[in-house]
Amino acid sequence: MLNFNTVTRPWLRAEGSSPRRATVNYSGGTHCLMVLEKFESEQAHAYRLHKTPASILLVAPTPAQLLTRCEKTLRQLQSEQGEQHYAKQVDYYHDLDIPISAARVGFMAHSLQEACQGLQITLDLLKEGTTAESFEHPKGIYYRKTGLETEGKVVALFAGQGSQYLGMGQHIALNFPPFQQAYADMDKVLIKAGLPPISNCVYPHPVFEAAQKEAQISTLQQTENAQPAIGTFSVGLYKILEQAGFRADFVAGHSFGELTALWAASVLNDDDYFFLIQARGQAMAAPQASHFDTGTMLAVTGDISGIQNVVKSIPNVSIANWNANNQVVLAATRLEIAKIRKILKAHGYSVTLLPVSAAFHTPLVAHAQKPFAEALKTVTFKRPKIPVYSNINGQIYPNHADDIQQLLALHMLNPVLFKQEIENLYAGGGNFFIEFGPQNILTNLVKNILEGKPHFAVALNASQKKDSDEQLRDAIIQLRVAGLALHNLEPFKSPRTAFQNEAITESTVQGSESVSEQAAFEQALQNKHQENSPIESDSRLENPSTPAATFSSREQTSAAITKSVENRQQVSKQNSTAFTPHQGEALHIVHQDYLNNMREYTQQFFQLIQQQYALLKDSENPAMLESFERSIGYLHEHQAQTQRVHEQYLKNQVNSSQSILQWKQHSALHDGESTPPISKLPTEESALQVVSSISKPTSSEL
């Protein structure tokens, strides 16, 4: 099947599956066909080259000092060295520790220009009211006079089924290896069980028909797909933040999310967690019998007591989730839900059908309870490292492994008491909530439950309509401004080059190179019709203004010309002296790179031979063998061409060096100096001997 990528999609691969291979076909005068294969393991170091949005964070002891700091930073960014100051400001942000008493402001910027705009808005807001405790601008600028106390108060919340959407976390998956690895681990478990990888379901091939899109959404909505997708997404986000120094004091989840909360508390290891995701999703999937109605769910917002009265009038409808002060979720067969939906709408209640494939937490999913309970017996439960709150009773999970297993086995058949759970968390000290998972459903529920009480709540992926990578970075800025101690979110971003990082210094440049052709042309335009004299004006060439001059004007002119010649000779000597070591260093670097490439080529060649041998040893297809021989031939020809290019480079360097030293010797004859005899210079033969000696790597280099 041929597919066209209309968007940039993550290319995920489960461990043990086929290597990632890509064909690049280019025709432009010459026809080039290249087949690439990723042979390395996943990245564990800085490697990413493409730009991502930058985070700007400014801190000062007081709001007034922060205002001054912002003004100074804006001036720096608007200066001629603005790009360098911008880069330093971004790097400074990564590992900045913020005292809780300090004033702070943060925002995200895609460019230097955006950073300047953000600072200008910040300045305007600070000037209007430096006494404000905090403010938040619609353009994503966050300010606090002081940080919040977070010690012992941080709650990690994990999303449940119904929050999933196609392409969720797509941009995060492009930029963060821990997120990619989470999907690779989940895919591995599913493939081992004979099931399709979940990454293909979350990030499907682009389609162009509305019906095809609806089919993809429907596939993801199925329980056996939705739960692995949401669970993997949440794990990926959690690992990204853990890498940045995040530590939770409490964990809780909504419905399916409770399983992820147990994983975050180290009750389950990665392998057991991914296995249970697969087992739970498969168990709760609709039975094969076509007549079996697993039901659906309806979120209702309004007066809870009034909703309860309506529910009592419709048999077989139950309240499955007690979500907030003004929201519950009803569950029943599709026919009963359709009936009560009309009644509730007629009474003025807000109703929303949830994108789920069953009536969870009701007897309609009783078929799943037994197989999931059996799966729970095959994994190892450990004592929670931090408190985990339960949906069943709103209380903390027990510490004993058997008790945890029994409570979790009953979970899917009991109502979710989320409102009571959050209230108990708050009473236990948790008031700093972070939602891990797609969308911001739990964040909004928390804000409703704790309305009027001091708390903080943020979702890491609040909207399915926005770039997930940018949303994550924006949320991290909010967390740091609020007072959470986090550090570098970007360990995979390739560091800036030495040229980009060099300090801003002043230096004197001598010689004709001090003015570029572009600068000279620009100066000519600025000077319009003014012509420069071929001899610069110099006080030493002017007639003396007093009769007390020692020399005549002719003698002065002669002395000035002599001095000018001496200066030019001195500049020439300085330039030639500086050029020689520079030339040697450049030659050494290029040659060393060539040696390194030769070693890498040899190693890769033998790896390729070993891989192809393993692939072809049991094959009797002559076409595969012929293709392999052609590939090896192309590889050798490419390497031979590389060697010929380097050979010619060495020849050119030898000729260049000989010409330079001949010129130096000629110049020295006029100065009475001596130079090394030309006979001692390297020759083309010696250069070719070097190439010959390295073109055949020894066994010690392999």
Say yes or no to pLDDT of 223 above 80: yes
Mean of pLDDT values over 30-34: 77
What is the rounded average pLDDT for all residues in the chain? 82
The more confidently predicted of residues 93 and 579 is: 93
| CA–CA separation, 376 and 408 (whole Å) | 8
The pLDDT of residue 702: 35
The pLDDT of residue 694: 44
Question: DSSP readout, 499-529?
Answer: HHH---------SGGGS-HHHHHHHHHHHTT
The more confidently predicted of residues 118 and 624 is: 118
The pLDDT of residue 689: 52
Give the CA distances from residue 425 to residues 148, 236, 321, in Å, rounded to whole numbers and listed in that order.
18, 24, 17
The pLDDT of residue 135: 94
- Amino acid, res. 16: G
Q: What are phi and psi of 348, to 5 degrees?
A: 90, 10
The more confidently predicted of residues 546 and 599 is: 599
| CA–CA separation, 314 and 343 (whole Å) | 10
Give the CA distances from residue 135 to residues 125, 165, 672, in Å, rounded to whole numbers and listed in that order.
9, 31, 76
Say yes or no to pLDDT of 231 above 60: yes
| 122-154 tens-digit pLDDT | 999 999 876 789 999 999 999 999 999 999 999
Burial state string for 358-370 with b = 16 or more CB within 10 A and e = fewer than 16:
bbbbbebbebbbe
The pLDDT of residue 482: 98
The pLDDT of residue 538: 41
Mean of pLDDT values over 626-649: 71
Mean of pLDDT values over 228-252: 98
Mean of pLDDT values over 172-201: 95
Q: Are 574 and 510 in contact (CB under 8 A)?
A: yes
The pLDDT of residue 613: 62
Say yes or no to pLDDT of 546 above 80: no
Mean of pLDDT values over 566-591: 56
The pLDDT of residue 634: 67
- Out of 162-171, 334-343, 526-535, which region has the weakest mean confidence (pLDDT)? 526-535
The pLDDT of residue 560: 47
Say yes or no to pLDDT of 58 above 90: yes
| CA–CA separation, 702 and 690 (whole Å) | 19
The top-scoring range by mean pLDDT among 411-420, 487-496, 563-572, 608-617 is: 411-420
| CA–CA separation, 512 and 514 (whole Å) | 5
Q: Is the pTM of this model over 0.85?
A: no
Using pLDDT thresholds of 50, 70 and 90, give the confidence band for residue 666: low
Residue 123's closest CA among 86, 57, 54, 68?
68
The top-scoring range by mean pLDDT among 46-50, 449-453, 486-490 is: 449-453
The top-scoring range by mean pLDDT among 343-357, 487-501, 550-564 is: 343-357
Mean of pLDDT values over 28-47: 70
| 673-691 tens-digit pLDDT | 444 444 444 555 555 454 4
Burial state string for 669-697 with b = 16 or more CB within 10 A and e = fewer than 16:
eeeeeeeeeeeeeeeeeebeeebeebeee
Say yes or no to pLDDT of 664 above 80: no
Using pLDDT thresholds of 50, 70 and 90, give the confidence band for residue 31: confident
Mean of pLDDT values over 616-622: 61
- Out of 53-62, 549-558, 647-656, which region has the weakest mean confidence (pLDDT)? 549-558
The more confidently predicted of residues 658 and 306 is: 306
Give the rounded distance of the alpha carbon of 591 from its chain centre. Answer: 35
Mean of pLDDT values over 357-382: 94
| CA–CA separation, 192 and 184 (whole Å) | 12
Looking only at the bridges linking them, the beta strands covering 296-301 and 327-332 are antiparallel
The pLDDT of residue 678: 45
The more confidently predicted of residues 308 and 287 is: 308
The top-scoring range by mean pLDDT among 253-257, 499-503, 695-699 is: 253-257
Percent of the chain whose predicted confidence (pLDDT) is above 90: 57
Say yes or no to pLDDT of 261 above 60: yes
Say yes or no to pLDDT of 487 above 80: yes
The pLDDT of residue 537: 40
The pLDDT of residue 13: 77
The pLDDT of residue 670: 54
The more confidently predicted of residues 395 and 543 is: 395
Say yes or no to pLDDT of 548 above 50: no
| 308-318 tens-digit pLDDT | 999 998 989 99
The pLDDT of residue 128: 87
Say yes or no to pLDDT of 321 above 60: yes
The pLDDT of residue 238: 99
| CA–CA separation, 340 and 581 (whole Å) | 86
| 407-442 tens-digit pLDDT | 999 999 999 999 999 999 999 999 999 999 999 999
Using a 10 angstrom Cβ sphere, with 0-12 exposed, 13-18 middle and 19 or more buried, the burial of residue 9 is middle
Say yes or no to pLDDT of 107 above 70: yes
Mean of pLDDT values over 180-196: 95
